[in-house]
Amino acid sequence: MRKIWDIHGGIHPPENKAQSLDHSIEFAGIPAQLILPVSQHIGAAASPIVQIGDTVLKGQCIAEAVGPVSVPIHAPSSGTITAIEDRPIAHPSGLDDLCIVIDTDGRDTWHQPPSSRDFTQLDKATLVELIHNHGIAGMGGAGFPTSIKLNVGEPNNIKTLILNGTECEPYITSDHVLMREYSRKLAQGIAILAKLVQPEEILLGVEDNKIDVVAGLQNALKQHDFSALTGKATSAEVITFPTKYPSGGEKQLIEILTGKQVPTGSLPASLGIVCQNLGTAVAISDAVIDDRPLISRITTVTGQAVTKPRNFEVLLGTPVEYLLARSGYNASINNRLVMGGPMMGFTLLDITMPVVKTTNCILAPTEAELPTPPPAQACIRCGLCAEACPASLLPQQLFWFAQGKELEKLEQHNIADCIECGACSYVCPSNIPLVQYYRASKAEIRQRDADMQQAEHAKLRFDARQERLDRLEAEKIAARQARQAKAAANKAAQAGQDPKAATVAAALARVGAKKSALEPTHKAPASDPAPDATLATDVDDPVQRAIARRATQQQADTANPAAALQRAVESAEARLKKARLRLTNAEAEQDNNVDAFKLAVDKCQSKLNQARAALDAHHAAKNL
């Protein structure tokens, strides 16, 4: 016997499963109309590839996947497309969404009749592709596209493949009958999964209220040589454990079977575990072996408002109304209609809504069965909710913080780890709809995070702009100081020499320069930068350095006026270019200093003109 672990908390609500277990799975039949929402799973909605008026055949693709996290949709039966429009769909939000409507012709003609394929000969990529192309999404919970979950890469570190046969919610028996009647297909599906993820062990977890299916499952599993499929010594076991809600939560089941907890915020794959739903495994077998896309599923119809509770093989898109009619539904005693189970299902307001890939149950209870909740009383902090919480949270504290909208406290108390199982609400003697508060709070936290991200983005942009403006300002100051220093130096030079002397000196210097050019080894004294006081004082100060540089150049300039003038032109050109650039930037950003930048450009332009004129004049004078 393999060791199993217990999870914290949990509850034992009345099971109410026997009602729908008496009969074997029954084909629900072909309704006159099938309504297929293009979005039946997490990820991008499929995009319709048919038009109104088109005739489609059973199994024909009618909407193709958009991007990787998306799966295509196939026609569940043959008929004519009569509408592609928004219809009410089965979703907790109660919103309408795009649906493809098929008026069936009753002939149920296959697009391409199911064949039979030997999957052992196929490589992984082909398997993943088949699974994707046949529209397979997780058939429990959120409906995650299966091909993505199985694309575990190579080499993978998956050690354990878990099949979730728990079905812990009261009333629902669709997985139970699936294990009872489809065990062969299930085992085939498991074999394909094994070939894909190559686990060292395969665990099929079943609650002990379904003990009747275990022998059949074990036999079915024996038909496959898993070691040959995985290339490892792979074992496959059916494991039973005590019935308790919510053992079937993926994280809970993993803890029960392996004793490990999936670290918060990570996927089971981080522990080397892949978890799959039973319906998905059967659908994989259908897709890979029989080439049959996912066009039907098993759905339990139960509750005291139906006289014939049972499990149906239902074409996807079948209106709930149609199923209810086949089960002896008495609308007058039905107080609410639940899609899913009594713990996590959501109410339907419109009985024309269609069955989708994740619809495991339609529950039609009477008022006596699931009474309308009385008004909530005060939380008396009895702690029953904390006792029941499988995630070991403190629901009463979360409730307290949710009322006060203390989002940070909620996060500190790990609201993100709440799986919304409803165990806390179930036990609360004050009838507080705790889960409702948590859902609302989670939505608020998401909203706040989105807002914060936006604000952060805006702040980054603001900071960058501020930094740029500061830099420009600093450059301006430095330039102004340099100009002042130059002016001062010019003045000093002019004060020290009368114009004639300067011309003489310049001529002498020219001669000297020529001389030095002829005698390269001898350095002209004029071009030898004298050890300057300013240069030595503070070389770390950029302004001082600029001044010093200017001063040194000044000496050289007096020696070679043409070069100096040339440099003046060049620098004026450069400055003009920079000023223009700044102006365009400022205009692009609608800066309110645009006018100032314009002025700067004009100034630079006139300076350049002056410099050019001076240079021309100099050349003219020389050529004389």
- The interface with ligand SF4 within residues 413-442 (CB under 6 A) comprises 418-424, 427-430, 432, 434-435, 438
Among 24, 112, 431, 606, binds other proteins (CB under 8 A): 431
Contact 409, 401 (CB under 8 A): yes
Contact 205, 239 (CB under 8 A): yes
- Which of 428/569 has CB closer to ligand SF4? 428
Q: Is 442 near other proteins (CB under 8 A)?
A: no
Query: By CB under 6 A, what part of segment 353-392 binds ligand SF4?
Result: 379-385, 388-391
- The Cα 430–Cα 419 span in angstroms is 21
- Which of 11/177 has CB closer to ligand SF4? 11
Listed in sequence order, the residues at least 6 apart from 352 whose beta carbon sits closer than 8 Å to its beta carbon are: 35, 87, 88, 319, 320, 321
- Which of 189/390 has CB closer to ligand SF4? 390
Count the Cβ atoms, other than its own, within 10 Å of residue 568: 18
- C-alpha closest to that of 234 among 203, 208, 257: 203
- Which of 381/549 has CB closer to ligand SF4? 381
Question: Contact letters (x/-) for other proteins, 262-281, by CB under 8 A?
Answer: xxxx----------------
- The Cα 399–Cα 437 span in angstroms is 7
- Which of 157/431 has CB closer to ligand SF4? 431
Structure token digits, residue 273: 């575990």
- Which of 17/575 has CB closer to other proteins? 17
Partner whose footprint covers residue 28, from ligand SF4, other proteins, none (CB < 5 to 8 Å by kind): none
- Which of 288/337 has CB closer to other proteins? 337
The interface region with other proteins, picked from 40-48, 346-354, 578-586, 602-610 by CB under 8 A, is: 346-354
Bridge partners, 203 (sequence order): 162, 237
Question: Tokens 């011309």 label which residue?
Answer: 503
Among 334, 358, 360, 441, binds other proteins (CB under 8 A): 334
CB of 11 to ligand SF4, least distance (A): 9
Listed in sequence order, the residues at least 6 apart from 468 whose beta carbon sits closer than 8 Å to its beta carbon are: none
Q: Is 386 near other proteins (CB under 8 A)?
A: yes
Question: Contact letters (x/-) for other proteins, 171-210, by CB under 8 A?
Answer: ----------------------------------------
Structure token digits, residue 463: 């900071």
Question: Contact letters (x/-) for ligand SF4, 199-238, by CB under 6 A?
Answer: ----------------------------------------
Question: Phi first, then psi: what are they for 62, rounded to 5°?
Answer: -115, -15
Q: Is 392 near other proteins (CB under 8 A)?
A: yes
Q: Is 462 near other proteins (CB under 8 A)?
A: no
Q: Is 294 near ligand SF4 (CB under 6 A)?
A: no
- Which of 370/502 has CB closer to other proteins? 370
- Which of 9/216 has CB closer to other proteins? 9
Q: Is 197 near ligand SF4 (CB under 6 A)?
A: no
Q: Is 331 near other proteins (CB under 8 A)?
A: yes
DSSP 326: H
155 cis-preceded (ω within 30 degrees of 0): yes
206-245 in b/e burial notation, b at 16+ Cβ within 10 A? Answer: bbebbeebbebbeebbeebebeebbeeebebebbbbebbb
Question: Contact letters (x/-) for ligand SF4, 270-289, by CB under 6 A?
Answer: --------------------
Going from the C-alpha of 540 to that of each of 543, 545, 548, the distances in angstroms are 9, 7, 11
* Torsion sign (Cα): 464, 465, 469, 475: positive
Partner whose footprint covers residue 433, from ligand SF4, other proteins, none (CB < 5 to 8 Å by kind): other proteins
Listed in sequence order, the residues at least 6 apart from 507 whose beta carbon sits closer than 8 Å to its beta carbon are: none
The interface region with other proteins, picked from 216-224, 225-233, 424-432, 461-469 by CB under 8 A, is: 424-432
Number of residues that bind ligand SF4 (CB under 6 A): 30
CB of 274 to other proteins, least distance (A): 17
Partner whose footprint covers residue 399, from other proteins, ligand SF4, none (CB < 5 to 8 Å by kind): ligand SF4
CB of 369 to ligand SF4, least distance (A): 22
CB of 336 to other proteins, least distance (A): 5
- C-alpha closest to that of 35 among 72, 82, 71: 82
* Torsion sign (Cα): 253, 164, 339, 168: negative
* Torsion sign (Cα): 255, 259, 263, 266: negative
CB of 258 to other proteins, least distance (A): 13
- C-alpha closest to that of 287 among 278, 295, 276, 275: 295
Query: By CB under 8 A, what part of segment 148-177 binds other proteins?
Result: 170
Among 161, 168, 172, 393, binds ligand SF4 (CB under 6 A): 393
Going from the C-alpha of 310 to that of each of 314, 318, 359, 399, the distances in angstroms are 12, 16, 14, 38
CB of 389 to ligand SF4, least distance (A): 3
- The Cα 609–Cα 607 span in angstroms is 5
Tell me which residues touch ligand SF4 (CB under 6 A): 379-385, 388-391, 393, 395-396, 399, 418-424, 427-430, 432, 434-435, 438
